[in-house]
Homo-oligomer: A and B are copies of this chain.
Amino acid sequence: MSERRTQILRAAVRVIAQDGVRGLRIEKLAAAAGVSTALIYYHFKDRSGILHAALEHINRRAENYTEPAQATNGDPLAELEQMLLLELQDIDEVRENSVAWGELRASAVFNHDLRKALQTTTRAWNTDIEDLVGQAKAVGGVAADVDPALAAEHLTALVEGLSERWHSGSISLHRARQVLTQVIAGYRARTT
């Protein structure tokens, strides 16, 4: 992919994180990227083209920082906790991504075109978490009667809910992390 394209896409994520998908203005994006509006149309055809490309870009970034972070000494549940808490951090890149991701979800409610990309990434995330729960089960970290798929959907949906509350000012970041931590603790070798 050309330099220019990525330059514009990076700017797009920034602008989306600030104004939302539906608040994205080509002129503002052009300013943020330091190029003319015409160039944006040249590279992305139209508004919807930019949006799709930007959302793909967000997905790719999301997949990246999902990768194994620190050593967790083979404790799958600890790794899971780390992976989920990753989304709830006040660091520019993470917050930007998380807000933009939330916007993608919110927009997909009304724009059916966006749903497919959303589903793919959501499923991938669910699967990652499901695997970790499965591993935790194998080593006795969680009870045998926990359904990994169900637990994964529970945890990821919860993270999304907490993120949006955080971004919309209805819960503090600290509190959100606390809720999540407690819920995960609740999975440690218990019943159901």
Contacts and interface: CB of A to CB of B under 8 A. Distances in A.
Interface stretch (A34-42, A45-53, A114-122): A114-122
- Which bucket holds chain A's interface residue count? 35 or more
A150 to B, nearest CB: 6
A56 interface: no
Given A164-B164, A190-B191, A190-B192, A171 B157 contact: yes
Contacts of A105: 164-165, 168, 170
Contact of A157 (B22, B112, B165): B165
Interface of A is mostly: helix
A169 interface: yes
Tell me how many chains of this kind the complex includes. Answer: 2
Interface in A135-186: 147, 150, 153-154, 156-162, 164-165, 167-171, 175-176, 178-179, 182-183, 185-186
Nearest to A120: B170
A150 B179 contact: yes
Contacts of A153: 171, 175, 179
B164 A19 contact: no
A183 B183 CA distance: 10
A74 to B, nearest CB: 23
Contact of A161 (B99, B157, B170, B171): B157
14 contacts: A18-B110, A22-B22, A102-B109, A106-B168, A108-B170, A109-B167, A118-B170, A123-B170, A150-B179, A150-B182, A154-B182, A185-B192, A190-B190, A190-B191
